[in-house]
Structure 1
């Protein structure tokens, strides 16, 4: 590595390590921290980095790897299910935003060719920034997160014909630079060939590499897959990111998916950080300072136009609610990194001049920097003004003679229900998740939508005549709330409740509820299998498991008496461990573990 490149890398690492944790410490986005680092290090800041263009070219691999990892999460059937969000919502967003921006740019004096290209470029949002912001806030699976992801996928697809249109509308430097119809057909054939053959070829290669049992070769193969598919697509005029995304989708249901993701993830994170730094370096502070009102007006107009369109899409097309639609609009109203490529090509083909390019780059860069702050302000407002939600309409329950009521019908509740159903013991299950209710009813379970933490719901489930209430909800606090409510109104009702841990069990025992720790028996079963695997006879392993359970139940009852005294509880735990060792030793002396002499 050349000395200047090494020094640049040291500056990148030092500035990131100092700035990004500081931004996170004050509750700001890591993306904003990276952009700030880019502003400081770039040619319009302290000019520490000598060649920001080469850095941006390398860092774009971070976006490519991010799209590959996203593809790994989307198998072809799931992608087909998202077709409405991708093609309908995505096309409406791009075309409507571009049309409004196009009209404004024509009024600003641009030729129709230039206005069309610039409007389409500004209509696209930053895939890297949007997905990073959603991931930071754990909102990728939220309603607005899913809508944003579908629109972003369409934007990545729309970027391909946009690049092809630039030389056609501009003044190409040579005939070889035109993206002809033959080249387009060739690109489509290569893409189809990769989809049809790539899945089998890639799996065969990964099986061969996995056979070597060398992790570094597997890592090299994972990187080769991402960069290689990206290069193939780029060589035929398509997006590198699209190629990597397709490769990820093809490997989404393979046995190597999780290992590939683990190998690519560290590189993706580092290169994405470098990408955001590079974007920060492209913001021309001199241009912003020379025309602050013009840049501010451009940023405001761009984000306002796109926000209105996205709000309409969320509210009326995606049907995700007003607040979710507002979050969708705030997240995606910015410009995107792809605009930098479009603006550079537009200058090369004579569509816009260098001054307009600098102003447009500044508008896009500032919009990207403002988005994390806008999201923070919006979420702070939502926190201070919580939405007034209408009371849910719970199911009416007609079954009048259940012997058991099950509160919560997740993984544990379903097992209990299957056991009761097998013995034809009538029960009613209450679940507060609409999705879980719909799924369980497909399998013929007697389950109703209702919140078991509400007295009227328990009463409608005929809890007064039931013999038992079984509480299997996932959340410990919900379990305690249901148990407390039932005990207060039906003190003679027998209640069995799922407990997360010993402390949760103690709180249930305070109310006279039988507490079953959710991982106890499965953990004992694993321990028993470990004994057998280590050569201990099956009946001896069974005996050890029985002894452990009896001893643990005895200790739980003893510790319950002192669970409010931490020192006594610790002393009891230490004594219990010594007792268990002595118990196992005594049993082993009476009967040996193995048949060996």
Structure 2
């Protein structure tokens, strides 16, 4: 017991060190844990003596991981990503399995082993990939949604893959009998799951939560997870299937979020044991004895898997750039590949040498994953300049796309999410011409059906910007969730349209300065605007006077703009003036036919003398007139651009 406790302390110590180093190097902690296991293993430092007991604890960690995955994968998630899930996930999973299985058959492996290993290699690392996408803020990008849907598909698919092992190990008539018995057991477990979902689990959790005891809730969740997992094992299925089923049952209940909250610490602790135990299994001697073979196999994996995944993304209508980003993110062999391989060894389908090969290739590909993800944007840019970009044009394109010819003085909107839709709606009702560019083919089709002037393509390409006449646009607005793509669009847009007003929406304040340096005129950071909205509402609820709240909002925005003023090499702008004189603001005023200003000159209108309003420019019949002379006559329909007090109301003119 003391020896096992010492091993656990050593593992946790190495895990902490690995997590700190990976944080400094901006690498996923799972890679550090794998390397820590390699160092602690019997072939290197030999720090762990009770490897079998550690492996048992790691298997519990896998069970808890599947349970939490089941909790986090709800029917709503699958529905939201149903197209990426059904098309992209299926194409990637079965496409990779087919290519790998065909290759192994040519190398002389038996068909059953080739097929099983094909599905094993098709699995990617959920823990590593999702962590990296989340840290980079790319989960809601087009390629991020593709990757997320594919990983969900794989996480669900690992269960039937593991159930295939005994069936493939049988063969002949016994295989058919085993298949029938397997189907019967699966149907029985499904019936049990439906009953547990409808009656048993809600009844148990309702009585537990009535106690208002966090300890009772935690123990109850553990009991349900372990109980359902043991039931599936008693039916001849796996503990992993039962754990996933238990999590999926709880995911549709009102207790799901609390269950995730109480289980995550245990999952993270035991998953660290899992990664360390996997690293301990790496046979350094085998790696050194077969370096060329393992290097070629790893190279084959990180070439084949990205190619198949990128092809799956192209099937969804994603541009080549996003297809490349998604493909390289899914280019590794995942942690569940190791679990499935061990299941194949336990069923007698695979040998120990194959386990060692899969293990070495998995560890090497996981270690290479940060390099692949970091190199993905550059690879995507290079490939987008080659004839390969024509691949995306061979896809079924939305019919009857509107032409961008003839547009001038319009607004170009890059991205048709919530912000893009709202901007298009207000522009349409204000009579402002606009054109939309979107990379999601499904959104483009939907927009075309609604009569929107929307085009399919990546706004980071000059050809797409030329399609919507960006060089003639009055304003270009970039409202997408991909930071790297946003920077490319800003750079290309500023180069193509040097005089257009370039407004960008970003998620974080740290993205503002690079975007301004690339040529953006103004960047609205969600982080800043949300914080302003939060404190404004809190202060209003606390009965702070509205004028004080307005002043504080101006101070917050002014402080941030003062921090970024040094980035602009131009002369003093209106934004700079607004910072220096917070009580002034720019306004626009359209003169109606019955306006008292019509017929007066700028000087005789009394705007400056009576209202403190200075006319900066006039737009008349689409023609701008900057700094108009004082004797310029004002006409009905004129659009005046003025500087006035911040709280000035144009209705005061009558």
> TM-score, normalised to structure 1's length?
0.68
What is the alpha-carbon distance in structure 1 between the residues aligned to residue 341 and residue 194 of structure 2? 31
Equivalent position of 1:200 in the other structure? 198
Offset, 1:127: 9.0
What is the alpha-carbon distance in structure 2 between the residues aligned to residue 487 and residue 439 of structure 1? 28
- SS class of match (1:489): coil
Structure that is richer in helix per residue: 1
What is the alpha-carbon distance in structure 1 between the residues aligned to residue 503 and residue 470 of structure 2? 20
Equivalent position of 1:136 in the other structure? 131
Q: Is the 8 A contact 1:226 1:244 kept in 2?
A: yes
Equivalent position of 1:489 in the other structure? 499
Equivalent position of 1:448 in the other structure? 454
Equivalent position of 1:74 in the other structure? 73
Q: Is the 8 A contact 1:23 1:33 kept in 2?
A: yes
Q: Is the 8 A contact 2:225 2:243 kept in 1?
A: yes
What is the alpha-carbon distance in structure 2 between the residues aligned to residue 101 and residue 555 of structure 1? 62
Task: Say whether residues 1:101 and 2:107 are aligned partners.
Answer: no
Q: Is the 8 A contact 2:38 2:280 kept in 1?
A: yes
Q: Is the 8 A contact 2:229 2:241 kept in 1?
A: yes
What is the alpha-carbon distance in structure 2 between the residues aligned to residue 159 and residue 84 of structure 1? 23
Equivalent position of 1:244 in the other structure? 243
Q: Is the 8 A contact 2:36 2:276 kept in 1?
A: yes
Task: Say whether residues 1:369 and 2:363 are aligned partners.
Answer: yes
Task: Say whether residues 1:156 and 2:155 are aligned partners.
Answer: no
Q: Is the 8 A contact 2:413 2:437 kept in 1?
A: no
Offset, 1:285: 4.2
Equivalent position of 2:545 in the other structure? 544
What is the alpha-carbon distance in structure 2 between the residues aligned to residue 58 and residue 230 of structure 1? 16
Equivalent runs, 1:174-185 vs 2, <5 Å = 180=178, 183-185=181-183
**Which among 429, 432, 444 is matched to residue 438 of structure 1?**
444
- SS class of match (1:231): helix
Q: What do residues 505-537 of structure 1 show as CA deviations (whole Å, max 9, x unaligned)?
A: 9x89x9998999744774366226633xxxxxx
Equivalent position of 1:174 in the other structure? none
Offset, 1:44: 3.6
Equivalent runs, 1:265-276 vs 2, <5 Å = 265-276=264-275
Offset, 1:134: 1.0
Equivalent position of 2:537 in the other structure? 526
- SS class of match (1:332): coil
What is the alpha-carbon distance in structure 1 between the residues aligned to residue 252 and residue 206 of structure 2? 14
Offset, 1:13: 0.8
Offset, 1:304: 6.1
Q: Is the 8 A contact 2:78 2:149 kept in 1?
A: no
Structure 1 residue ranges without an equivalent (≥5) = 107-114, 172-177, 532-540, 566-572, 577-597
Equivalent runs, 1:386-465 vs 2, <5 Å = 386-389=381-384, 396-397=403-404, 410-415=417-422, 418=425, 424-435=429-440, 438=444, 441=447, 444=450, 446-449=452-455, 451=459, 463=473
Distance 1:418 1:198, change over 3 A: farther
Distance 1:458 1:312, change over 3 A: closer
- SS class of match (1:49): coil
- SS class of match (1:270): helix
Distance 1:128 1:228, change over 3 A: farther
What is the alpha-carbon distance in structure 2 between the residues aligned to residue 54 and residue 283 of structure 1? 17
Equivalent position of 2:620 in the other structure? none
> TM-score, normalised to structure 2's length?
0.63
Distance 1:6 1:561, change over 3 A: closer
Q: Is the 8 A contact 1:64 1:244 kept in 2?
A: yes
Q: Is the 8 A contact 1:36 1:280 kept in 2?
A: yes
Equivalent position of 1:187 in the other structure? 185
Offset, 1:4: 2.3
Select the structure with the greater relative contact order (CA < 8 A; seq sep ≥ 6): 1
Offset, 1:208: 3.8
Offset, 1:99: 5.0
Offset, 1:196: 1.9
Distance 1:426 1:408, change over 3 A: farther
Structure 2 residue ranges without an equivalent (≥5) = 394-400, 567-578, 583-654
Q: Is the 8 A contact 2:410 2:472 kept in 1?
A: no
Q: What do residues 319-363 of structure 1 show as CA deviations (whole Å, max 9, x unaligned)?
A: 3757458626741399633223432442xxxx78xxx62x33332
- SS class of match (2:58): helix
Count of aligned pairs? 519
Offset, 1:18: 2.4
* Superposition CA RMSD, Å: 5.2
